[in-house]
Structures are given as structure tokens and as C-alpha cells.
Structure 1
Amino acid sequence: MRLGIINGEGSGMTDQTRAADRLVDSLIMAGTDTVFSLSGNQIMSIYDAAIGKPLRIVHARHEGGAVYMADGYSRASGKVGVALVTAAPGFTNALGPLYPVMQSQTPLLLLSGDSPTNRDSMGAFQEFDQSLTTRGLVKESWRCTNPERLPLDIAGGIRMAQSGRPGPVHIALPEDMLNETTAPADTNALEFNAELSPLSQADLHAILSMLDNASNPLIITGPSLSETCQPGLTRKAQDALQIPVITMQSPRGLNDPALGDLRSILKAADQIVLIDKDVDFTLGFGDEQVMPCERIAMVAAEADSIARASNLISGRLEWGCLGDPVSALNALIEANTVKGPKAWMESVTAATRKRPPHPKEGEAATAPAILNAMNAVITEMETPPILIIDGGEFGQWSQSILPTEQMHINGLSGAIGGSIPQAVGAAMANPGRRVIALLGDGTAGFHFMEIEIARKYDLPITFIIGNDYRWGAEVEIQKRQFGANRMEGCMLDATTRYDRMASAVGAKGVMAEDTASFVKALTASFNGRKPVVINTIIEGLPAPTF
């Protein structure tokens, strides 16, 4: 999408304007309407430039919260999320979420203030090599050193975040660069849309031929093709090809509670096409005991993915090629030359719907009991809620039981703690839509204060805290690996009242100690726009697994 505003006409740009103003106008031209931020010295000119412009700055309580908000916003809108933080300590506070964002393949632009270039190597206030620090956490990182090119930097960052395998991009913004007076940008040169790399005809023909000769073909995708990222696309592919399409995005891999008996599916498949899905821990590193398939093809956005697959499944990787994941799946759909066996499709569907038996409920409510009750409530809602599900044992039960169509999970990184700010971002992207965040009591401590932001903006979010007085996943590791009498350091207690903490920041807090009181609180939370925290006491249980 090239936006042809000549010499800034209609953009708010004048002949001589601060680079900070050019930055704001470039974000608006890209379709950005919300930036998640925490203020600081070096970026105040951007705050000033946004005044009177159609660009909302949402001020978070922690830089990590701002990045997670941008993540949730992006996932729930399809746009590139934008986070803005200040230099050095503000920037380093923002680093924690970048690894989860990278692993979840979320397109995100992180803008950070930086010390002035005219004081480089002089020990300037908060001087710090930001690009060196972000290596491995983002797709690309660079520092603006020419204010005239700042609109091109913004366009390039947004474009790169979406292209190939989506992910975060970082740009450092020195304070002096933002305050420089610049000439109008050549807005005809600004290109914000993703660069597509379609499959070659040779690659497409090879993959279609492999699928056509298979008895039990299977397509596995990475997170960027999930239902929430590309609504309807995998279903469209299944309908067109009559071949099962499975998206893997959980850190539990083969034990993903939303994918049922995935192990049996992998063992039965005789032809697998991986579409931007790495051969990694989630696939048992391609071990033949896990996926014995002898004919595997891979379409990858990055050459490193093919190189790793070649090492791990040497001799079984029959075809590997580079390509944009969305374009690749669409090409398979449009070819319309392959139809998989009906019996195999039915078999895979049945296997993915399998769930392990639920434990019997004792005196305390259990995660399965309250989540089954919740399922009955939300399936009756006219507009399905957006579900933001954190990690940990409570999160795994949630993924196992609740509908996946509008479900955003913590992703391949296995990180916990992002759900509260992610829910804020998702609600900002979908005004008036009910958002439900599900998280454990350990997880609640990471970014609880961002509930204040939900209250300030009257966001209709229900935060459900499954409170079993423990760091559930770690307690299960201790029991499994070291013994039931070795559970030290991972227990929480009943003294912390998350419902009262919610009330303290102006939200509504409710305590639920059984399934009936939980259902009552959940239903009541849908009345009005005020955020509600339901502190739900449950029995500690290990995550569901086959």
C-alpha cells in the first residue's frame, strides 16, 4: 500500500517540522491508531507531536506491560502493534516480552528513546548500545542517525515486522534526531505492507505431487497461521484440500492440551508438509519414534529453518523451499488439484478432539469444573469473547476445555505473566467486545497494575485468576522429579487477596470459592464495561496430558 500524499499535504506536515512530528505522521499513515508507552526524557517530543493527532498514546505502568499490550493489540487486530519506551532502563525493562513476542510470531514495532548522537562515546545520560542488546530478540534492530530518513525507518520497520515470519523489530531514536527540523518526506516512497515471497511453480508442483500420492497427508503450520492470526485460512485449506491442517503454537508441543492425541496423528501420517513450522522440541526434534514419516516437505520463511530440518531429519526431508507462509497456503488452496482421503480427515478430527479424563471434584472447585461451567456460559453469548490465556497449569486446562477460535495463548516461549496487559491491548483493538483473561495466581503478580489501565479506559475485561496457592507448573515438576516431600519455595498462600487488590485500583473484585459462586460472578461481570477480577479458589492439579 503506497500512500501518495505529496509533500505532506493532508498529513499535518508543514515544510519545516520536527522529526518527531514526521514519526507520528508516518505511524498514522501506516494505519496505526494506538501506541502503548511509558514516558521518559528522550521521547517526550513524540508525546508532544501526538497532541491533536488521531494517535492515542496508552500509558502503561511498566515498559514490559506496554510491549505486551502492543502484542495483544496486534494479535487481536491483525495490525502491527507499536510500543514506545524511553532509553536505557526503560528500554531494558521492555526486553522481557520480546522473546515471547518473537516466538509467537507477532508483528510488533518497538520504538525506544536513546541518548543524543552528538554525545556518543562521551558518557551521555543513559548512553547504551541498544541494538547490540536486542540481538536474538528481534528480527532487526537499528538506530536512527538521519532525521530526514525517519519516515522511511518507520515504514521499513512496520514492513519488516510483517514480512516473511512475522516478529518484532526495534528502532532506537536518539533525542537529538527527534528534535531536528526536517524537510517534508517523500511519502510516495513509504511502503508499509509486507513483502511477499510466493512459492515458485516448481516448488508448488513438487509439494502438490507429494500430497497427491499420500494416504495420510498432514499439514502442520507455525503460530503465524493460527486461527486468531489468519482467521479462516486453515479451515479454508482443509475444506479445499480435504487434508488436516494443524497449527502448533504451544510450549507443551506434543502435549498441547488443545490438540488432543497429537502423538497418534504424527505416528500415522505418511506425508507431512511443514509450513513455517520449525523442526524443534515441539516435534520431538523430528525423532523417528515421534514422527516416523519418511516423506517430509518444508516451506519456510527463513533459510535457517530448512538448514536445521536438514540436520534433524536428514534423508526424510524430501523438499525444502523458501516462501511466505500465507502465500504458500493460499497457493495450495488455489491449485485445487489435491483431495485427501475422507477417512483420514475424520480420524484426525476425532483424535484432536480427544481429551484426558477430568479428575473428580472434591471439597474445593477444580479448574476443569469451573472451566466447563464457563464454557456453557460463553457458548450462549451472541458475540464470542476474546480469550487471552496465560501459561501454567490453569492455562493448560483452559486451552483443553475452552473454544480455540478466539483463543490467544502464551506461545512457544513458555513465558508466563503477559495475559493482563495482552487483554488490555486486545480490548483496545476491539472496542466494546468482551475479553476474558485466564491466569494463575503466580502469573497474576507479573503485571497486575495494568488492571488500572483497563479501569481508566473502561475496558470490558473479565480477569479470571485460578488461585491454587502455588506456582502450579513448578510444584508439579518438584513432585515428579524430586518427590512429594520436596515441594519447597513454590507455594503461595491465601493471605494475598487479588479481588481486594482489584478494588484498590478501581476495578471490581470478587471472590469465588466454588463453582456456583464462580458462575454467578462470571455472568455478573458481563454487565457493564468496568473490568472485573474474579479470584477463584481451586484445587491444585497437574495439567491435562495423554
Structure 2
Amino acid sequence: MSGFSLQYPSSRELTCGDLLAQSLKQLGVEVAFGLHGGHLDAFLVGCEMVGIRLVDTRHETVAVQAAERYSRMSTKPAYFSKERISFSNGLAGLATAYGDRSPILCITSSPPTRDTENNSLQGLVDQVVAARPITKFAHRVVAPEECPRIVSHALRIAQASPPGPVLLDFPIDVLFSPIHPKLISWGSITSSPTYPPGPHSEAIEAAAELIRNAKRPVIITGTGARSSEARKSIFKMAEKCDIPVFNSSKYASFTPQSPMLSEGTAGVLGRLTYANLARPDLILLLGARTGMFLGGRNGAIIPDKECALVQVDCDGGEIGRSLPIELGIVSDIEAFALAMNNRLETADYQGSVDKAWVQSVLGLSSAESPFESDAQESSSGLLHPYHAMKHVFSAVEPGSIVILDGGEAGAWAADLARYSKPSTVMTSTGYLGFLGTGFGYTLGSAIAAPNRKIVNIQGDGSAGFHLMELDTYKRFGLNVMTVIVNNSVWGMSINGQDIVYGTATSERPISSLDPGTEYDVVAKGLQNTSAKVSQIAEVQPTVTRFQAQKGPSCINLIVDRKPVHPITTLMVGLTDSPDAVVVPYYDNIPRAHYNV
């Protein structure tokens, strides 16, 4: 096959496992995350032979999440699971990747084909069937020589718009079977890559007209606009038209820089009314999905009246999913921004933007927080969470990658991460809201960007999911600093209960954790440099010291559970109206009235 030279082992036969590894290598895969399992040894040995790096975790879910995060930065990951029980452990990660549109390939193995329905080891669950609802494509490979064609097909599906996870299962007898070279089906394994969809010319004209007439336009970017080339083109358009740019809270990239890029995420648009500023009359959503990360349908971030909404997404099904739109464009974001810039260059652009409003909006994120004047320590002697996190980020190395996990811990960190001048801030909980995902995202980031420092922010609740991955960080010598914001409760849960049920009663079901848990001691046992920090004067020196060293570290940061973060109050949606039933985390529902 032209462009593909098979590598033959020197002391054994060429197997399907070898062919699988070589197919992935040919398609650009460089890293595989997962756990060892004898079912997959033929593949793992093949990976070693062709130079695919194997990164093993302490839990299968983390392996999928690491591949998901790696795909955000490198675009060509692979994840492998060992046997069926491991696949079941990894389902949560696969579901998150599906919800967040991450293009990853999951490789699993299963009992021999002759042993189906034979009470074989881990033969109960058909993982192809189980995976289909949460993948774009799931398939069992039963002919070894078909491997290159199917792998190429699966990866193209994963990367096609909209991207998402795919799964290939190889029964163990297939994976260990010798290959007949003349029977190999190569498919499109050496074909040139496909190009993403571009915008229609009429759509560009319509968008240009809306921008030209807008007085208060805003751009909100999401994960679909994460590539550096897309962002350069977006900033060129924004600077030409004087449009402020806001990252969504799901994915905030600060490289490259632009005078039109806000330091705050799109959430600060909710402050416009309180700042006596008019709200936007045009919003361009570029690769940013509506829903929980943009305020849902409550109008707090995206006005529900007197604001035109232009939504550009590679997935036509996302356009108008939850909000009415003025113009929908199915396109890759870079292709859209390039087309817009070409359109703007062909004619004299004369917009009507209120430049004073633009500068006021860009300054919203630097406005003083209402918590700034609070005491740095509470009356109980515990650290104020706002001040504790501000001191953390004031000492973080500029250009670091910040991963956010947890409830209120992640919310406090999101408000203050800008003090570290980060390259990227990513909320790991995603559209499914899974906690603990940050450990895998951190691992994937550290493997993809080994020259950057990674800051892994965890609440003490989310930390309990995958704390053993500190061992993984140590084994691979990763420059990861984990900060566990420890208030000994499920913060968003217990504070939400306070809001809904009042503080007069002490009944708080299953929302407390043990204040005696010493995360720093656990981290030390896992060979991470660690410290317990409970004094404000200790925060910055500890962060500075840990970031200056090589290898992983962990800070057990002791904070108070009060004050309540505003996001909790917003999400609970408490109201004095007798006609509404409060439904935490969602829109309130009208109370049913019956005539008696």
C-alpha cells in the first residue's frame, strides 16, 4: 500500500494488535491512555513497537477524560480499555466526551468470538451495544485484515462535525490473530484529510449587515473556537469592527491576546444592568452552545428581548436549540471568521458601534468584587474562599493551564483565575456535570503541553473521586499543582439547602464531609510535595515554592463554607412569588392552582 510500510516483529508473527497500532500511528495517533489488561496485550506490544506513548491511569474513567482533554490540545488521541469490567468503569468518561463533543477513539477488547453467551470472563455486557447511545459510532471488528479500513473510518467519524467519541471492540482472538498481508483492507488510511464545512456566501452578507447596524455587539466564543488560527481570525474581525470578545465559562483561551478580549468570561455580561449599562443588541455565538454555561433561558447572559442572536456552529442541530436566533450559520468557526474578514476587506466598513459602551463592557471584569472588602479570615478563623483563591492565583506562574473542578470551589476559582494571566482556563465538569473530571483533564493537558505548568483546582468533594491520580502525576513526573479547596462540605449542596430551607433548622441531608480528612497527608504518601495551608500569609509563598519545583504537588487549602458564592444563589433561583415552585438548578415552575 502506497504511503504505508508494515513493520514486522523480529521474533514473532504480525498480529491484528500490531496492525491496529500501526494503523493508528499512520493516522497520526501519538498517545494512548488507559489501563493494562491481558486482552489488549497484542495491541499494547504493537504500540511499543511503533512508538505510541502509553499513559496508564489508576481508573478507567480518568483515562477517557485524559484523552478528551488531550484532544482539545492535540486533536489525535487514543484511549484503550482492557476488559469489559474496565469498559464499564469508563462509561462515565465516554458519556462526558459525547456530551462535550470530544473526538476520541476508545479501543476495547472482549472474550473470544467462540465464547459468546458462554458465561465467559466479563462476557455479560455487550459493550458495543452499551456504547452506541453515547458515541457517534460503535463497532466490533471480527476480521483482522479489515482493521486499517475500520480504524480510519472511525477516526474520521470522530473528527467530523460535530466531533465526538467512537468505539471499536476487538475480541481477544481477533486481536491476537496473525495477519495475512495480501488480504489487508486499507480503505482511506493514507488519504488526505477532509476539510471542515464553510459558510454560505449569503450568510456572510447577512452577518455583515447585522454587524454594520449594531450599536452594542458582542462575540461569545466556545470550545468550537479553540484553535489558535480561529482565534486570530476572530480577533482580527473584532478589532476591525470594535466588537468585545468573551470566552464562555466552559472554555476560556487567552492566547493569542487582543485588545478586544475580555479578561472575564461571558458571565460578566450578567452585570450590565447592575452597572447601569445597556445590554447587547447583537450577540455572535461562535462555537459556543446555548444552555447551562450561557445562562440557559433565563436571559441573564443572553438577553431574551431586543437582541439579535447570530449562532455559528459546525452542528446544524445546535442552532436555535434553546433560544430564538436571527441568523444561523452551519460552519467551522475558523472558516466563518476568515470569510467575514475577506468580506470586510472588500468594502469600506462603516459601523455604528458605541465605542464608549464597548470600553465599559471590557472593563466589567476588572470592577472590584463585593467580597474584596470582606475580612480575609472569618470569625471562626477559617480562610475566606474569595481571598484564599485570589492569593493562589496571584502567585501562579503566568501562562499556566488552569483546570476547574467542583461546585463552589470551581466557581470561586473561575472568578479569580485571571489574576494568574493564564493561557487557558477550562471547566471540566461539562454538560453532564460530572465531578472529578478535572483529574483526567489535568493529565491530558500535562501530556499535551509538557512545557506549561498545570493548576488542578478541586473542591474537597470532587477531590474524592480520583485522588489516586496524584500517583499517576508522580509516575510520569508531571508539573501539576493540585489545590484542594477544603471547606469540609459539599459547598453548593449545603449552601443551596440553606437558601431553600433557611438556616433555622440544622437538618442538612448528606451534604457534609469530614473536617479531619488530611488530603495533604494522602498526597505525601503518593509522593507529591504537599502542604496544609490555613493562614492567608502562607498561601502565596506555598504556591510560589511548589510551582518552582519539578514534578507534582498538592495544597490542602482550608477555607470557610461561607459566604455563599453568587452562582449558588443564582442556580437555586429562590423567589418570594407564591405562584412559583423553586426547582434548584433549573427554571422555576408555576404552581398549580385548583379551585376547591
Q: For residue 134 of structure 2, give the secondary structure of its aligned residue in structure 1.
A: coil
Tell me by how many angstroms 1:237 deviates: 3.8
What one-letter code is carried by the residue in structure 2 that aligns with 1:486?
E
Match of 1:409 among 416, 427, 445: 427
- What is aligned with 2:41? 44
What secondary structure does 1:495 align onto? coil
Match of 2:104 among 94, 103, 108: 108
Cα 1:285–1:369 change in 2 (3 A) is closer
Out of 45, 60, 64, the residue aligned to residue 63 of structure 1 is 60
Rounded to whole Å, the distance in 2 between the matches of 1:88 and 1:506 is: 31
Q: Which of 331, 339, 349 lines up with 2:339 in the alignment?
A: 331
> Per-residue displacement from partner, 1:424-481 (whole Å, max 9, x unpaired)?
2211222243211111111111111111111111111111111111111111111111
Question: 1:80 maps to which residue?
Answer: 76
Match in the other structure for 1:497: 518
- For residues 218-237 of structure 1, the aligned pairs below 5 Å read 218-226=218-226, 232=232, 234-237=234-237
| Contact preservation (8 Å) 2:248, 2:265 | no
Q: In structure 2, what is the Cα distance between the partners aligned to 1:220 and 1:259?
A: 7
Of residues 357, 374, 377, the one that matches 2:392 is 374
Within the candidate set 506, 522, 542, 2:543 is matched to 522
Contact kept, 8 Å, 1:279 with 1:308, in 2: the verdict is: yes
Alpha carbons of 1:194 and 1:408: their partners in 2 closer, same or farther (altered >3 Å)? farther
Is 136-145 or 261-270 further displaced after alignment? 261-270
Specify every segment of 5 or more residues in structure 2 that has no aligned partner in the other structure, as ranges: 252-262, 571-596
Report if aligned partners of 1:221, 1:274 keep a CA contact under 8 Å in 2.
yes
SS at match of 1:52: helix
Moved more, 454-463 or 132-141: 132-141
Give the deviation of 1:192 after TM superposition.
7.5
User: Is 2:87 aligned against 1:98?
Assistant: no
Would the alpha carbon gap of residues 427 and 294 (structure 1) be closer, same or farther in structure 2, given more than 3 Å must change? closer
Distance in 1 between the 2:561 and 2:272 partners? 30
Alignment pair present for 1:27 and 2:24? yes
Going from structure 1 to structure 2, the CA distance change for 1:262 and 1:56 (only over 3 Å counts) comes to same
Q: Which amino acid aligns with 1:539?
A: D
Asked whether the equivalents of residues 486 and 557 of structure 2 are also in contact (C-alpha less than 8 Å), the reply is yes
1:280 — aligned with what? 291
Which amino acid is 1:457 matched to?
F
Deviation at 1:21, TM superposition (A): 0.9
Check the 8 A contact 1:439/1:466 in 2, yes or no. Answer: yes
Q: Structure 1 residues 219 and 113, CA, compared in 2 at 3 Å: closer, same or farther? A: same
Question: After superposition, where does 1:342-491 map in structure 2 within 5 Å?
Answer: 342-354=355-367, 356-358=369-371, 359-361=374-376, 362=378, 363-378=381-396, 381=397, 384-403=399-418, 405-410=423-428, 411-484=430-503, 485-491=506-512
Any residues of structure 2 matched to 1:243-254 within 5 Å, and which?
243-250=243-250
The 1:392–1:228 alpha-carbon spacing in structure 2 relative to 1, beyond 3 Å, is farther
Taking a change above 3 Å as real, the CA distance of residues 467 and 192 of structure 1, as seen in their structure-2 partners, is farther
**Corresponding residue number in structure 1 for 2:317:** 304
Looking at structure 1, the residues matched to 531 and 294 of structure 2 have their Cα atoms a distance apart, in angstroms, of: 41
2:113 maps to a residue whose letter is T
Is the 1:42–1:175 contact (alpha carbons within 8 Å) kept by the matching residues of 2?
A: yes
> How many equivalent pairs are there?
529
| 1:14-72 Cα distance to aligned partner (Å, 9 max, x none) | 99732211111122223322211112232121112123331111111110111122123
Contact 1:512 1:537 in 2 (8 A): yes
Counterpart residue type for residue 186 of structure 2: D
Distance 1:297 1:232, change over 3 A: closer
Contact residue 390 and residue 417 of structure 1 kept, 8 A: yes
CA distance in 2, matches of 1:13, 1:205: 58
In structure 2, distance between residues paired with 1:307 and 1:231:
23
The letter of the residue matching 2:467 is F
Percent identity over paired residues = 23
Residues 296-336 of structure 1 deviation map (CA, whole Å, 9 limit, x = unaligned):
33333223223635xx52xxx33334222332233223332
CA distance in 2, matches of 1:367, 1:418: 22
Residue of structure 2 equivalent to 1:200: 200
Q: CA deviation at 1:390?
A: 1.0
Q: What's the counterpart of residue 149 of structure 2?
A: 152
CA–CA distance in structure 1, aligned partners of residues 330 and 462 of structure 2:
38
| Cα RMSD after superposing both structures | 3.0
SS in 2 for 1:274: strand
Q: 2:277 aligned with 1:270, yes or no?
A: no
Higher relative contact order (CA 8 A, sep 6+): 1
Change (3 A) 1:230 1:399: farther
The CA deviation string for residues 96-135 of structure 1, in whole angstroms up to 9 with x for no partner, is 1233333333322222222333444555433332233224
1:330/1:124 CA distance change after superposition, 3 Å: farther
Tell me which residue corresponds to 1:139. 136
Q: Is the 8 A contact 1:159 1:192 kept in 2?
A: no
Task: Quickly say closer, same or farther: Cα 1:231–1:199, change in 2 above 3 A.
Answer: closer
Distance in 2 (CA, whole Å) between partners of 1:116 and 1:62 is 25
- d(CA) in 1 for partners of 2:367, 2:162: 31
Q: In structure 1, what is the Cα distance between the partners aligned to 2:39 and 2:306?
A: 55
| TM-score for the superposition, normalised by structure 2 | 0.80
